[in-house]
């Protein structure tokens, strides 16, 4: 019965209430025809005289049992699926959260975990990327594209083909000739954006 009620084919073929009633009726008739005759024989009754009772009263009892069981089973399975999906969605959102992105970095033999919100900007350097904080810089083997996909694009914006900035670390933006901008970050880091990203820079910080 469990495999029947889990069948996606039956769920698609019937509306749920009709599906429950039809399956419960079928299961009740089969159970009554298989189980009740044995009980009647054991009790010494004549099956010919008891056939109508087997198909009426007995089937009704089994129908009520299967129908109630199906109601509770479907309610439980639906709740279980909803809980699983909620948990999965929560885990996915947690992994995508900028507050939970960390990078394994090393400086002068000392290893540590660098949280993304401590990063001022990220710069590509061949097959490596440089993670620059207010007071330090760390080099890890990775590509700028992969790093960009890990970060929350609400807070981290690419302002140059080889540079991503943390918008929360921007102190000042000054327009330069040709559509570029001079961006000053916390820690007095100064970088230049390219004109290709003019709209991006203007959208994340008012120019001055």
CATH code, 200: 2.40.50.1020
25 Cα distance to chain centroid = 39
Burial 30-57 (b: 16+ CB within 10 A, else e): ebbeeebbeebeeeeeeeeebeeebeee
Angle at 132 between CA 109 and CA 114, to 5 degrees: 60
Q: Which residues of the chain have pLDDT under 50?
A: 2, 4-5, 8-15, 43, 47, 81, 83, 94-98, 207-208
Q: Are 181 and 200 in contact (CB under 8 A)?
A: no
Residues 136 and 73 in one domain: no
Residues 124 and 179 in one domain: yes
Backbone phi and psi for residue 168, each to the nearest 5 degrees, phi listed first: -70, -10
How far is the C-alpha of 178 from the C-alpha of 195, rounded, in Å? Answer: 7
Residues 105 and 200 in one domain: yes
Residues 78 and 146 in one domain: no
pLDDT for 25 = 66
Residues 6 and 51 in one domain: yes
Residues 62 and 133 in one domain: no
This prediction's pTM: 0.52
pLDDT for 98 = 47
pLDDT for 136 = 94
pLDDT for 71 = 65
How far is the C-alpha of 7 from the C-alpha of 38, rounded, in Å? Answer: 31
**Domains held by the chain: number:** 2
Residues 79 and 126 in one domain: no
Cα radius of gyration (the chain): 34
Residues 198 and 105 in one domain: yes
Residues 22 and 41 in one domain: yes
The label of the residue with tokens 């008891």 reads 50
pLDDT for 157 = 94
pLDDT for 95 = 45
Last residue of some domain: 96, 116, 131?
A: 96
Residues 71 and 91 in one domain: yes
Residues 122 and 92 in one domain: no
Residues 114 and 35 in one domain: no
Q: Which domain holds residue 90?
A: 2-96
């Amino acid at each position: 019965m469990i495999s029947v009620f889990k069948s996606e084919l039956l769920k698609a073929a019937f509306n749920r209430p009709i599906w429950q009633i039809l399956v419960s009726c079928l299961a009740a008739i089969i159970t009554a025809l298989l189980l009740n005759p044995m009980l009647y024989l054991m009790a010494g009754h004549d099956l010919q005289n008891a056939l109508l009772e087997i198909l009426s009263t007995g089937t009704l009892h089994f129908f009520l049992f299967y129908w109630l069981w199906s109601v509770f089973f479907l309610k439980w399975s639906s709740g279980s699926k909803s809980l699983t999906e909620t948990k999965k969605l929560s885990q996915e959102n947690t992994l995508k959260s900028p507050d939970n992105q960390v990078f394994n970095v090393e400086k002068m033999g000392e290893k540590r975990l660098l949280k993304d919100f401590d990063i001022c900007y990220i710069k590509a350097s061949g097959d490596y990327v440089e993670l620059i904080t207010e007071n330090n810089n760390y080099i890890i083997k990775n590509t700028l594209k992969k790093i960009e996909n890990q970060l929350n694009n609400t807070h981290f914006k690419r302002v140059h083909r080889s540079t991503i900035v943390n918008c929360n670390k921007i102190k000042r933006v000054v327009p330069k000739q040709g559509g570029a901008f001079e961006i000053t970050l916390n820690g007095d880091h100064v970088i230049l954006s390219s004109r290709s990203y003019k709209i991006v820079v203007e959208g994340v910080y008012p120019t001055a």
